[in-house]
Structure 1
């Protein structure tokens, strides 16, 4: 434990807590196909600031996506996933540009409030017909890019879009896995451009990926036909709680 604490540059209790958090984040990622970063960052904000956790979570997302690659590629809606990724690249650049003219806290509040409202609509089974169209698909990708550039929450926008479509849970999960893998280089390039991929951040990411991968394996085993009916409400509930928590923290 002393070696772990020294490697992570944390106290022993903090290091032990981080291992547990990343294991749980891995379990959720293995079951849902997304959400590990939001869970990990939300649970560790009192130990490390988001700016320190973002590159750590990027490593987690990359490795988890690679671990789930085969099942993602096999069942994903590839056409939809590629279209969403193209939209991410377009909207992401615009979102990053807007961060220079819009207060950071305000941009995050707007993005999280929008996600919260959309999650409520989906839980209430209110689905905008526009989402089922080609322009709706493209617009969702661009909006996810804007949300990523403004507040780093583009993945949740894509998750909402996928959950709003009438598709089997297995296809929705696989599409999210494939999307996060394809978009990982984009996120890595941004982190590199902003000088956030430090040696310590990469070390933390690699070390904490070990318990996360154990969690991913456990989560994958939970994704069985018996539990598939719970997939959509569980994911929407997670998005709702995460967005609400972010809004409360920003408004406090």
Structure 2
């Protein structure tokens, strides 16, 4: 245990809390296909600043995607996923630049606010017809890249795009899985260029990937036809609640 605490540069209490957070977030990711990073960012941001969470989250997303990519590749709208990745690649550098240049408290505030706005938008079933166009596809990808670099919640933006097409739950879930997997390849390059992917981020990512993958496995078992219609409202409500609580705590501490 001492060696793990040394490698992650965390106290015992922080380590246990983060382990529980990534386990629960993994369950949600396995069930819904997204929201892993957003859930962790909404809660773990009280322990680590966003710029330190970003490299760790890259490894957690990759580990989750590895478990889910087979199903994602089979059921996803591949053309849409690839188009979103292209746009996201263009937006990532700007979002990451904002993260490394803004004060820690400001980046926390922006990250949590983004999560709340996107969650409420989806709960309200916001549908924008222009998103179904080709410019809408690439534009959504660019915005997803910016908020991924800033708060690692690009999956939420992509989910808004999928809502505009009224995709079935299984296809939406699969498209998000494929987007996050393909996007991880290009986002790593950006993280390295900006010097954000450091040794601490790598070690934390690899260590916390274990409870994350356990959670993803359990979440996948919960995705059954009878519960498919409930997965999106459940995840978004939980996400919004956690983000609001975290936002309040950052303002009173």
TM-score normalised according to structure 2 size: 0.84
Larger displacement relative to structure 2 (130-139 or 51-60) = 130-139
C-alpha distance in structure 2 between counterparts of 1:139 and 1:152, whole Å: 17
CA shift for structure 1 position 56: 1.1
CA shift for structure 1 position 211: 1.0
Please tell me the root mean square deviation across aligned C-alpha atoms, in Å. 3.0
Alignment-derived partner of residue 31 in structure 2: 31
Alignment-derived partner of residue 218 in structure 2: 218
Assess if the C-alpha contact under 8 Å between 1:144 and 1:154 holds in 2: yes
SS in 2 for 1:67: helix
How many pairs were matched up?
252
Q: CA 1:210/1:249 → structure 2, altered by over 3 Å: closer, same or farther?
A: same
CA shift for structure 1 position 75: 0.5
C-alpha distance in structure 1 between counterparts of 2:110 and 2:53, whole Å: 22
Assess if the C-alpha contact under 8 Å between 1:85 and 1:182 holds in 2: yes
The CA deviation string for residues 208-243 of structure 1, in whole angstroms up to 9 with x for no partner, is 111111111000000000110102212432454466
Assess if the C-alpha contact under 8 Å between 1:108 and 1:150 holds in 2: no
The CA deviation string for residues 11-36 of structure 1, in whole angstroms up to 9 with x for no partner, is 22222222222111111111111111
Q: CA 1:47/1:248 → structure 2, altered by over 3 Å: closer, same or farther?
A: closer
Larger displacement relative to structure 2 (113-122 or 174-183) = 113-122
Q: CA 1:47/1:151 → structure 2, altered by over 3 Å: closer, same or farther?
A: closer
C-alpha distance in structure 2 between counterparts of 1:5 and 1:150, whole Å: 27
The CA deviation string for residues 118-172 of structure 1, in whole angstroms up to 9 with x for no partner, is 5444433342221222332222112222333455432321122223431111110
Residue segments in structure 1 that go unaligned for 5+ positions in a row: none
C-alpha distance in structure 2 between counterparts of 1:2 and 1:93, whole Å: 36
Alignment-derived partner of residue 47 in structure 2: 47
Alignment-derived partner of residue 155 in structure 1: 155
TM-score normalised according to structure 1 size: 0.84
Alignment-derived partner of residue 175 in structure 2: 175
C-alpha distance in structure 2 between counterparts of 1:40 and 1:150, whole Å: 14
Assess if the C-alpha contact under 8 Å between 1:76 and 1:171 holds in 2: yes
